[in-house]
């Protein structure tokens, strides 16, 4: 095993066929010509960024979006070949690509395999075609099934399916049906998030600030129940919840996300991608035209950097707690001491005790983790870990 520091790469593909009604991700429709120009710039960025992280070994790569599978397969292959040529990629690196149903074909899958992709994440969200239409998704459940079969036929043995609850018009029954349909396929991993109404989206116009529209959002009690049903149904089928919204079959946790939650450095490549490397947090240029124009500047890629923030000890401690407590195994006092040279109880003793008394945290020395109730109220719990 290499004794180099670990680095995770996130590669952003900001293109989608059209915008979903709830989406506030950095994504947009684009012509093939724009996509080609973007990938050329991205490859240039990959090559130049690699020089700054020579003392790292890449432990995971995540190609996300947007819809990475909208690109011709050769573009993804070119991106991965550039990464392989210029970064020190570990032989057992986890390499994930996000795929949206309705954008896939067998040739693209061949390109992914050739590029070393060993994990696929399929965005389904719901197995109910009416709910998919309300969300503005481009695909039906049958389109998803076809993509899922293609992925399996291409030999991918590590597959995630993304689901979303608390959708407009969704009932507890329809959510359970979605879970059960997906469970019949036995994916290795399931992510199940609740819909958040984000500002600047068509959904915000309809539902923001308590707004009512048809179909209505489930009420708060139903939403809570959906959350509990998710856990009980998935766990009864052998899926272990290892993070607030993530479930996997044994040994199939997403290593990329686990690394992020446990503080592994990550480098974001592409439009608007976020990084945290060597104690600095920063983002890349978010405007597509500016991103591509900057490629010709002498100081490319550092001219892409925005919102550069040097993390101090306080930031790092808070981040350790916020991210670590998302995991069902929680945080370890021993790791805290090792990373920060301080006893976790000297820093957070009263907070931990208070949360424990409220039944929100459980202490099993040296670990501290959220209880079931604490997971439900995680934002409230986390807010108490902010340092003055």
Binding residues for ligand SF4, rule: CB under 6 A, are: 16, 19-20, 23, 25, 27, 65-67, 100
The DSSP string of 244-264 is: TTEEESTT---HHHHHHHTT-
Output 23 or 179, the one with its CB closest to ligand SF4: 23
CB-nearer residue toward ligand SF4: 27 or 160: 27
Pairing of strands 274-277, 119-125: unpaired
Q: How many CB atoms lie within 10 A of CB 241?
A: 19
Strands (E), 147-262: 159-165, 189-194, 240-243, 246-248
Nearer to ligand SF4, 166 or 327 (CB): 166
First to last CA, the chain: 40
Distances (CA, A) of 295 to 54, 240, 353: 22, 44, 52
Q: Check: CB of residue 101 under 8 Å from CB of residue 139.
A: yes
- Minimal distance in Å, beta carbon 146 to ligand SF4? 17
Determine the distance from the C-alpha atom of residue 336 to the mean position of all C-alpha atoms in its chain, rounded to a whole number: 25
- Extended beta strands in 201-330, E state: 240-243, 246-248, 265-269, 274-277, 280-284, 305-310
Q: In the complex with ligand SF4, which residue's Cβ is closer, 67 or 178?
A: 67
Return the H-helix or E-strand segment holding 122: strand 119-125
C-beta separation of 100 from 143 below 8 A: no
CA gap 259, 266 in Å, rounded:
9
Would you say 15 or 242 has its CB closer to ligand SF4? 15
Minimum distance of ligand SF4 from residue 5's CB (angstroms): 31
Shortest approach of ligand SF4 to residue 133 CB, angstroms? 13
Give the SS3 label for residue 84: helix
Q: C-beta of 136: minimal distance to ligand SF4 in Å?
A: 7
Beta carbon of residue 344, minimum distance to ligand SF4 (angstroms, whole number): 37
| Interatomic CA distance for residues 63 and 58, integer angstroms | 14
Smallest separation, CB 98 to ligand SF4 (Å): 8
**Of the two residues 64 and 330, which places its CB atom closer to ligand SF4 in the complex?**
64
Helices (H) and strands (E) in the chain, counts: 15, 15
Minimum distance, C-beta of residue 168 to ligand SF4, in the bound complex (Å): 15
Which residue's CB is nearer to ligand SF4, number 69 or number 332?
69
Nearest residue (CB) to ligand SF4, 125 versus 253: 125
313-324 helix and 333-340 helix, angle to the nearest 10 degrees? 160
CB of 61 to ligand SF4, least distance (A): 19
d(CA 254, CA 247): 9
Beta carbon nearer to ligand SF4, 100 or 126: 100
Residues 6+ apart with CB under 8 A from 268: 9, 10, 11, 12, 274, 275, 283, 284
Provide the minimum distance between the beta carbon of 34 and ligand SF4 in the complex, in angstroms, as a whole number: 16
């Amino acid at each position: 095993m290499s004794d180099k520091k670990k680095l995770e790469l996130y590669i952003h593909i900001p293109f989608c066929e059209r915008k979903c009604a709830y989406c506030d991700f950095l994504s947009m429709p684009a012509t093939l010509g724009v996509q080609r120009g973007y990938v050329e710039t991205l490859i240039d960025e990959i090559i130049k960024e690699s020089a700054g992280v020579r003392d790292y070994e890449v432990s995971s790569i995540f190609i996300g979006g947007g819809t990475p599978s909208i690109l011709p397969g050769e573009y993804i292959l070119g991106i991965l070949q550039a990464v392989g040529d210029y970064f020190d990629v570990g032989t057992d690196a986890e390499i994930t690509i996000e795929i949206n149903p309705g954008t896939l074909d067998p040739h693209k899958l061949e390109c992914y395999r050739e590029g070393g992709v060993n994990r696929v994440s399929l965005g389904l969200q719901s197995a109910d075609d009416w709910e998919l239409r309300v969300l503005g998704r481009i695909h039906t459940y049958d389109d998803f099934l076809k993509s899922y079969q293609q992925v399996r036929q291409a030999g991918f043995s590590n597959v995630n399916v993304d689901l979303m609850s608390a959708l407009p018009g969704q009932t507890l029954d329809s959510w359970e049906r979605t879970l059960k349909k997906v469970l019949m396929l036995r994916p290795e991993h399931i992510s199940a998030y609740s819909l958040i109404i984000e500002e600047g989206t068509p959904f915000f116009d309809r539902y923001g600030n308590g707004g009512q529209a048809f179909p209505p959002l489930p009420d708060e009690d139903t939403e809570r129940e959906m959350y509990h049903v998710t856990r009980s149904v998935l766990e009864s089928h052998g899926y272990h919840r290892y993070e607030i919204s993530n479930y996997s079959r044994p040994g199939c946790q997403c290593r990329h996300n686990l690394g992020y939650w446990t503080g592994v450095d990550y480098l974001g490549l592409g439009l608007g991608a976020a990084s945290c490397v060597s104690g600095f947090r920063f983002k890349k240029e978010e405007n597509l035209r500016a991103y591509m124009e900057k490629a010709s500047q002498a100081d490319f890629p550092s001219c892409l950097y925005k919102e550069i923030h040097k993390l101090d000890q306080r930031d790092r401690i808070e981040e350790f707690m916020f991210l670590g407590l998302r995991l069902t195994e929680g945080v370890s006092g021993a790791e805290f001491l090792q990373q920060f040279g301080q006893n976790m109880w000297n820093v957070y003793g009263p907070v931990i005790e208070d949360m424990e008394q409220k039944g929100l945290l459980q202490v099993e020395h040296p670990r501290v983790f959220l209880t079931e109730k604490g997971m439900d109220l995680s934002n409230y719990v986390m807010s108490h870990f902010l340092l003055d």
